[in-house]
Amino acid sequence: MSRGLKNITLLQLQYFIEVASEGSITAAADLLYVSQPTMSAAMKDLETRVDRALLVRSARGVTLTDDGVEFLGYARQVVEQVELLEQHYLGRPPSRRLLGVSAQHYSFVVDAFVRMVKASDAAEYEFSLRETRTWDIIEDVRTLRSELGILYRNDFNRKVIDKLLRDSGLAFHPLFLASPHIFISRTNPLASRRRVTLDDLAALPRLTFDQGANNSFSFAEEILSTLSSKQEIRVSDRATIFNLMIGLDGYTISTGIISDDLDPAIVAIPLEVEERIEIGWIDHSGIPLTEQAQRYLDEVRAVVGGFGIALLDQP
């Protein structure tokens, strides 16, 4: 390394992580009890040291450049490793845990999140779980608002999803293959059936998750989205969709993994179709996951494995 170059400091990495998290230099400065000019100067000096723009500044705050997104991934890794060293050799307590996850509306995602939080050994943590639209999941992970995303793909949407992921610098990692099931209320007349067909569903309202401005078939959260339905209702959250299953005897198509603890009023019935649902997680290509993200994925694998489903990836 040239003697004219300055090293990046750990403090600058910590500052940068908070600025990216808060979306504001002023808010990050307040959080870390330093002055706004000090924080601003630290960010400008960091950009000088790495010889590239990491932040886009505006009156509304700051956003990350593409270089900033990549830099943030590595900064998190370095800071987390230093904290682990201090815990092991200096006897310091576990630091404040951070993790963001964005996902389609799956109960196993929530179940694993609950397990992760309960198992956390940190006195302080800041976790986020966003059940959201397919496009927004990809955008959240691209901008590192979330470190992980969980979504599905199949033969129908694979080309569109894979292209969008490639263009965003993201990678899809398969978790498991699921046979399609319908989710319905335990009081639904079909709840006693061992299996159902599409013809059995013709008279029932089909419930789907709204995809907003990107409401194309390729971004639908449910398979068989191109099939017409006489009665269709779009919703934005799982609580509403479950209430409509109970109140209107509606159905949605999903993985078949349902938590009796979290969703006791809903049951999953196998659907007789040839389709398969490939569930996977997405992250930034080439940026290692933090240990907290790995812990969450371990909980996801444990939940899915508890249903007797074979995993496609192993840690």
Mean local confidence (pLDDT), 86-95: 70
The pTM assigned to this predicted structure is 0.77
Cβ atoms of 244 and 205 within 8 Å: the answer is yes
Give 16: exposed, middle or buried? Use CB within 10 Å, 0-12, 13-18, 19+: buried
pLDDT given at position 94: 58
Average pLDDT, the chain: 88
> In the CATH scheme, what is the code of domain 1-92?
1.10.10.10
When pLDDT is cut at 50, 70 and 90, the band that residue 1 belongs to is very low
How far apart CA 278 and CA 271 sit, in angstroms, is: 16
Beta bridge partners of 153: 278
When pLDDT is cut at 50, 70 and 90, the band that residue 158 belongs to is very high
Mean local confidence (pLDDT), 179-208: 94
pLDDT given at position 285: 83
pLDDT given at position 142: 86
Higher pLDDT, 260 or 224: 224
The one-letter amino acid at 15: Y
96 pLDDT more than 70: no
pLDDT given at position 43: 94
Q: Cα–Cα distances in Å, from 238 out to 9, 17, 213, 235, 255?
A: 44, 32, 19, 8, 14
Q: Each residue of 12-71: pLDDT tens digit? A: 999 999 898 888 999 999 988 889 999 999 999 999 999 999 999 988 889 888 889 889
Sign of CA dihedral 112, 114, 116, 119: negative
When pLDDT is cut at 50, 70 and 90, the band that residue 166 belongs to is very high
When pLDDT is cut at 50, 70 and 90, the band that residue 2 belongs to is very low
Same CATH topology for 101-175+278-305 and 178-277?
yes
When pLDDT is cut at 50, 70 and 90, the band that residue 81 belongs to is confident
pLDDT given at position 95: 60
Give 186-191 contacts, CB < 8 A, sequence gap 24+: 186/265, 186/266, 186/267, 187/246, 187/249, 188/245, 188/249, 188/251, 189/249, 190/251, 190/269, 191/267, 191/269
How far apart CA 164 and CA 133 sit, in angstroms, is: 14
pLDDT given at position 281: 97
Q: Each residue of 228-256: pLDDT tens digit? A: 888 999 998 888 999 999 999 999 999 98
Q: What CA dihedral angle connects 43, 44, 50 and 56, to 10 degrees? A: 80
Higher pLDDT, 127 or 300: 300
pLDDT given at position 5: 53
If you classify domain 178-277 with CATH, what class do you get? alpha beta
> In the CATH scheme, what is the code of domain 101-175+278-305?
3.40.190.10
pLDDT given at position 225: 85
Mean local confidence (pLDDT), 211-231: 85
Q: What is the residue extent of each domain of the chain?
A: 1-92, 101-175+278-305, 178-277
pLDDT given at position 291: 83
